[in-house]
Structure 1
Amino acid sequence: MEHHLDGYRVFLAIAKTGSFSRAAEALYITQPAVSHSMKQLEEKLGGPLFFRTSRGVKLTVEGEVLLRYVDQAFSLLTEAERKLTEMHQMLGGVVHIGANDTLCKHILLPYLERFHKQYPDVKLHITNRTSHETIKLLKEGKIDFGIINLPAEDPQLTIRPWKPLHDIFIAGASFGHLKDQPVSAAELAAYPIIMLEKDSSMRSYIDRYFHSQQVRLVPEFELGSMDLLIQFAKTGLGISCVTAQFAEDELSSGELFALQLEPPIPPRHIGIVTLKDVPLSFAARTMLDLCLQQ
């Protein structure tokens, strides 16, 4: 069929104009070229598609059947071209992003707002999953790129380190005697500690830190979200391990304070992951560039 696409285009022009000569004018080609193209197509399909009348040409029964499909096919191609033009002009399309709840709320949200203001016709679809699940969605082709906690290694991924995160322990007035005092990992372990659940990348990172200090940390509470960690610290139920950037309001107001852990926990990073050798849509690439430029 691909060898006869021009023939179908000529066929459609003849059917719509009712004349070989007018079809040639519409297509900016010669009438002999139109006749030759039609002859090849009719030979290919096994019979005549037009018959001549005193007023021009008319479709045969076979030609009328063919016209319904050819007209629809070219209409679909025109619509596809229009859609692609809209996407390249950021007048349509969808960007699919994966990120966990905390990263979406505290890190990604400002970029989503900025993108939406610049390109209101492009839809943003956010899937909230853990870093491990985000990578799985990426490999399944369900998202364009993901925001994950690092470190991560996978030969199928392009991993771009993006922003540093600083993990700290925070507490309220119940533990005021620890404020502005250096606290070792061993000393901290004697207090009621509140941490994320074990399946989180942050928890694994903190566990490795305490292992390096030869300290076994047994949390009093294990919770599923950063917001709960902050709320539990406010109530005085214990000392919570959180990411500093996600507790800025409580730390700035003095409602909570950060312990001076010695040595401090080394910073970790979040990253943006994409599939290697898989091109992004124009809209997804624009969103990714917006994130990386800031």
Structure 2
Amino acid sequence: MNQNLSSYWIFYTVANAGNISKAAKELYISQPAISKSIQKLEENLGCKLFSRSSRGVVLTDEGQLLYGHVKEAFETLTLGEDKLKRSIDLGVGHLQIGVSSTLCKFVLLPYLKEFIRQNPHISISINCQSTNETLDLLDENKIDIGLIGKPDNLKNINFYYLDNIEDIFVANPDYLSNLKKRGITRDSILGNSTLMLLDKHNMTRQYIDDYLQDNHISVAESIDISNMDLLIDFAKIGVGVACVIKSFVTKELQEGSLVEIPLGIPIHKREIGFAYKENLKPSKSLQTFIDFYRTYRPEETL
């Protein structure tokens, strides 16, 4: 566009008013200023836009052609302003959240359920990745916020603590009974069973690998599983011993379909929470979510 927007607004107003004097009153500028603006626009476009009549000014054929496009443009701008105002009034926005599949199901969903009820006009995008990958996405500004296990180095991350999680080893009672029949004692179960763990890129897996190494536990056989749900299901049918988060198998432990394997040295609990970059000003949607999770507590806590 070779002309500035104000020139087209003056042209549009004069065309609608059909009179320079009337347009001057609507625009709160002088008639000579309007005439000068129209003259400059005509010179730049290389054609006459108005012809004078006894009643004021009338659009020429070239003016009519330009007017049709200018009218459409200003109506589109007005529509955009109206939609923006309604969006602001309704709280319309978009929020991108990064989270592991495990924390998504067992921790994030209760928060989202209530947040969406309170803020139905904020759309949510979920990016299911490991904590390590979620931290990378935060660093690259590809997500707004992440639900993560607290890493050793937070760098430029603002971390809001939600709760502790406790990793335990569980197995089907029949699987443990068969180990006992083979002469395997409770203290040596981990080193003599099929151990089922999350994938190696997962922060939980790295944490458990460190535990096994620090306590000199050699694993005879292991299976990498992609998510916590499968770990729990495989343990329930007797595939092996699974490392799971204790609060996620409360029901199974209570009903006896899974049994917790006692450890001589317990696994230290880990912190989980919401994290976002502290050096970026939160969007309105993110700030709404931050304010929400700082006060809301789901009925079922970890």
Q: What's the TM-score, normalizing by structure 1? A: 0.81
Change (3 A) 1:145 1:82: farther
Is 1:209 paired with 2:208? no
Instruction: Measure, in 1, the Cα distance between the counterparts of 2:120 and 2:63.
Output: 45
Change (3 A) 1:90 1:141: farther
The Cα of 1:51 is off from its aligned counterpart by: 2.0
Change (3 A) 1:277 1:11: farther
Structure 2 segments unaligned to the other structure (5+ residues): 181-185, 297-302
Instruction: Measure, in 2, the Cα distance between the counterparts of 1:90 and 1:254.
Output: 48
Structure 1 range deviating more: 85-94 or 232-241: 85-94
**Structure 2 equivalent of residue 260 of structure 1:** 262
Letter in 2 for 1:158: I
**Structure 2 equivalent of residue 72 of structure 1:** 72
- 1:94-113 to structure 2, matched below 5 A, reads 94-113=94-113
Counterpart selection for 1:282 from 269, 281, 284 = 284
Change (3 A) 1:80 1:44: same
State the aligned residue count: 288
The Cα of 1:36 is off from its aligned counterpart by: 4.2
| % identical equivalent positions | 37
Counterpart selection for 2:194 from 187, 192, 195 = 192
Letter in 1 for 2:19: S
Structure 1 segments unaligned to the other structure (5+ residues): none
Is 1:149 paired with 2:158? no
Is 1:19 paired with 2:52? no
CA-based RMSD = 3.2
Instruction: Measure, in 1, the Cα distance between the counterparts of 2:157 and 2:66.
Output: 48
Instruction: Measure, in 2, the Cα distance between the counterparts of 1:145 and 1:264.
Output: 31
Is the partner of 1:221 in helix, strand or coil?
A: strand
Q: What's the TM-score, normalizing by structure 2? A: 0.79
CA contact (8 A) 2:148 2:273 kept: yes
Letter in 2 for 1:78: T
The Cα of 1:39 is off from its aligned counterpart by: 4.1
CA contact (8 A) 2:100 2:129 kept: yes
- 1:90-169 to structure 2, matched below 5 A, reads 90-138=90-138, 142-151=142-151, 153=153, 158-163=157-162, 164-169=164-169
Instruction: Measure, in 1, the Cα distance between the counterparts of 2:234 and 2:216.
Output: 27
Change (3 A) 1:135 1:63: farther
- 1:204-243 to structure 2, matched below 5 A, reads 204-243=206-245
The Cα of 1:208 is off from its aligned counterpart by: 0.8
Instruction: Measure, in 2, the Cα distance between the counterparts of 1:270 and 1:91.
Output: 28
Is 1:246 paired with 2:245? no
